Structure 1
């Protein structure tokens, strides 16, 4: 990762403050497009590098630096999304987007450290829920960019067209198709308090190795997906069926009796964190429908757990 460039002439840059303030916007955009905080940070750095690679007169001629930065970052993401498909086809096991913790929970665990984390720049809302990000992974790069820019960041289709390289009408169709995918795949919204209660009941049943209680909390057709990235042991394929998932979870606790399970916010929603000897080894996100857990996503790849606190 490169350090943020400085203006080429070494003198004060009147637009520097405005440019730096755009960093949060760029990371928010890139994370939603790529599902990776590390890649989002790299996109922001590359965008700034391109800004400062221009001459001062070229920068001064840009009417809206913020719009220019967003356009460049979106195009970098569009290119990365194309290559990401090939990379993820070679990924060992299932690929799950990088989970994000709640800023307040990290600060309580590591005072003074978490404030510098790029994850602090990501606004946690429904557009970064794990279920939402997983659906985004099924879209074409153009669908994903058009949808996120228009529906999440409220860019006009004329602006999206300039970024994607298609007509405004084509971008409207891309966003419509993406919207349909979201609508068809996502469950009805469950109040956060109810989600938290079900996740808490799940945690207690898991720790108690109560298979029947777990089965009762899981949808009969539930799916559990684990991401180890080939770096740690994880199921290469999703586990399907509430009973199979329950028995597998009990087996995990049996193999790691000293595992500590903590209730945490994962991508803005109730989730769980598993720690071994104070080190976060798994982050679990859930999708709940009709008062049952329908999907579990368990991230075990340590490269995706760098934003999570240890020793809590």
Structure 2
């Protein structure tokens, strides 16, 4: 960035937003003006950009009362297909960072400041899973019947199309059996979607999207950030956890071990194991293919290798 820019963004943010094309370039060019206007309108002092973001300007800000809060200014591409602000508004601080102010035209949010991310606490993965499950139980809310957000059926059908497209574009990097299984599960989840059973779900509740609530202990409390916002069965959020739970999934018992992970999630939440299992496999395959498509070859291949092991050792 140019030295005269008051609010420079991290290189990772600049690269990703520049890749959005002209709308991204325009957003970067007007960033200083936008942030300065927010300082005036909200009577805050904005600090330098925090590391870790890829498609938004995120920084601490100090209010007129001296409170430290978080300013998040999303780029146009970061908001595409997401309902972050609406989700945080519905939650009203329950299970999620509290939304203090929102300016939709400027894609700006003022949020409560939380502590460290769960993935930075060096806890065993199983303990992280249990923390996320406990926080999800607090965060899930019944989805209003008239809500127009993406539904469970939408999510399943979109992932089916994504899997087919990416598999073909990558010259079929995993077996037909893996793809057939994932597509079968997509059909099942789409067919079993019922609005009355849907919750307002996070959509991507991994350990980098959950933070410590300061000044809590016995036990330490956590809240989520960065929700996508879906009207979907709770099993989907748990499937996102399952897709990353690789521990022990190898050898001739790979399928059984993976199934035991899904059952563990059921014991923590009382959500049916089969639905968790299906979403987990769908998410594992679609994520593996997505990683390949974005040049993250090693991670993508690792995810698909485990999917192969699960399918090949199924009864």
TM range (shorter): under 0.3
TM-score, normalization by structure 2: 0.27
Q: TM-score, normalised by structure 1?
A: 0.27
Structure having greater relative contact order (Cα 8 Å, sep ≥ 6)? 1
